[in-house]
């Protein structure tokens, strides 16, 4: 009886606060939706992508190694196509050769580990996990799917989202 009275009192107080602070309630709700929905969608789609990689590897004769090698080739060809499209764009605008050479030296393949902010945005907001992580997870785990791989992805998702100096400080 006492517990139900406490719950009713809390409910009435919350309802009164929500009624008197409609604008604040709307802004808080809107902000949470705008910030949390993309992250939730990203996690859900990335989980499906990781699961597809590992389950797809079970259908291949070479298993995880064959899938990892195929992803590495795919990402390398994709990067070359992007670089070629960029060079066409530069030619169309008649840029000088120095800018074209600077892009070629600057470009890194998608299966290499990037700086902290890129890792953070790819793990927290992108629909696909970074290619370097997908290849690494295929090469370092056994063929098949298990909840252990889901835990590995979840742990690495948060670990890779931290800046390097924080990981060194925490000894992660």
pLDDT digits (tens, 9 = 90+) for 107-151: 445 666 778 888 888 888 888 888 888 999 999 988 888 888 888
Domains in the chain, number: 1
8 within domain boundaries: no
The pLDDT score that the predictor gives to residue 45 is 93
> What are φ and ψ of residue 19, in 5° steps?
-70, -40
Residue 136 lies in a domain: yes
pTM for this one?
0.67
Per the domain annotation, does 150 fall within a domain? yes
pLDDT value for 99: 47
In a domain? residue 117: yes
Q: Is residue 43 assigned to a domain? A: yes
Q: Is residue 64 part of a domain?
A: yes
Give dist(CA 52, CA 9) in Å, integer.
49
Of 7-11, 101-105, 140-144, which has the strongest mean pLDDT? Answer: 140-144
5 domain residue, yes or no: no
Domain hosting 155: range is: 38-170
- Indicate if the pLDDT at residue 48 is higher than 70: yes
Looking at residue 105, what is its pLDDT? Answer: 45
Q: Is the pLDDT of residue 102 over 70?
A: no
> Is the pLDDT reported for residue 42 higher than 80?
yes
Separation of alpha carbons 76 and 30, rounded Å: 40
Residues 6 or more apart whose CB falls under 8 angstroms from that of 49 comprise: 127, 128, 129, 134
Q: pLDDT for 51-95, tens place per residue?
A: 999 999 999 999 999 999 999 999 899 888 888 887 777 665 655
Which is higher by pLDDT, 163 or 92? 163
Is 14 inside a domain boundary? no
Tell me which residue has tokens 């990689």. 53
What is the per-residue pLDDT for 111? 60
Chain position carrying tokens 């990981």: 167
| pLDDT given at position 54 | 92
Average pLDDT (155-167) is 85
């Amino acid at each position: 009886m006492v517990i139900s009275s406490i719950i009713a009192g809390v409910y009435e107080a919350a309802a009164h606060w929500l009624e008197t602070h409609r604008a604040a309630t709307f802004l808080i709700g809107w902000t949470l939706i705008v910030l949390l929905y993309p992250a939730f969608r990203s996690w859900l789609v990335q989980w499906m992508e990781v699961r597809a990689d590992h389950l797809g590897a079970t259908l291949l004769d070479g298993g995880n190694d064959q899938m990892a090698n195929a992803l590495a080739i795919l990402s390398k060809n994709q990067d070359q196509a992007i670089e070629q499209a960029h060079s066409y764009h530069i030619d169309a605008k008649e840029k000088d050769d120095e800018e074209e050479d600077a892009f070629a030296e600057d470009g890194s393949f998608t299966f290499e580990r990037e700086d902290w902010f890129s890792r953070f945005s790819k793990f927290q907001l992108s629909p696909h996990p970074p290619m370097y992580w997908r290849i690494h997870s295929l090469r370092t785990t056994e063929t098949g799917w298990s909840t252990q791989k889901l835990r590995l992805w979840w742990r690495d998702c948060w670990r890779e989202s931290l800046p390097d100096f924080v990981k060194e400080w925490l000894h992660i």
